[in-house]
Amino acid sequence: MSTPPSESPLQSLAAEPTVTPSQRRRPAWVLPTAAAVAGAAVASAAALWLSSDASPVAPSTFDLSGTMTLAKASTFGLRDDSYRKCKGDGGYSDIFDGTAVTVYDAAGKVLALGKLENSKFINGDCEFTFTVAGVPDGEQFYQVEVAHRGKVSFPADKARAGAVGLTLGSD
């Protein structure tokens, strides 16, 4: 290749266009492949999220039932003239229909709440019943407390069977 007399060899090289890396042409398959890989990643993430437990499964529960007895007449007063309803008296005045019953796990965490109901004068004692709904299953022991009278522990089988019996006062 001969260079015209007016141009030097360096000038002819400078006149040729230079190609930068950003001007290089990508193969036609790169962009569609990248889009397909990104789409597959998004679809996989969505499938994993949807198949996971988006909402936790509620634990199974049971109703814990039992009785609370105020022993002997010195611990309670009669609520009405029929001698069928009764309530605590004196140092037991916090025991009546509607008093809170709290169920705890073995570590002392509150699990469920209920209340004393259906007071009855039976054989010289004042007896209440209670049912605490929605107690979560799965504990080995449950603690039951009426008012602020202290927690009493029961094995899970007795708690589930409704064999919880509490007594205040002396026989």
pLDDT tens for each residue of 18-47: 555 555 666 666 566 666 666 666 666 665
Residue 48: predicted pLDDT: 59
From residue 108, give the alpha-carbon distance in Å to each of 6, 121, 163, 165. Answer: 100, 32, 20, 19
From residue 107, give the alpha-carbon distance in Å to each of 110, 116, 165. Answer: 9, 24, 21
Residue 78: predicted pLDDT: 59
pLDDT tens for each residue of 44-95: 666 555 555 556 666 799 999 999 998 875 566 655 555 578 888 888 889 9
Q: What is the CA radius of gyration of the chain?
A: 40
Count Cβ neighbours within 10 Å for each residue of 64-100 and write b for 16 or more, e otherwise: bbbbbbbbeeebbebbeeeeebbbbbeebeebbeebe
Residue 167: predicted pLDDT: 92
pLDDT tens for each residue of 112-155: 999 999 999 888 888 999 999 999 999 999 999 999 999 999 99
Whether residue 15 is predicted with pLDDT greater than 60 in this model: the reply is no
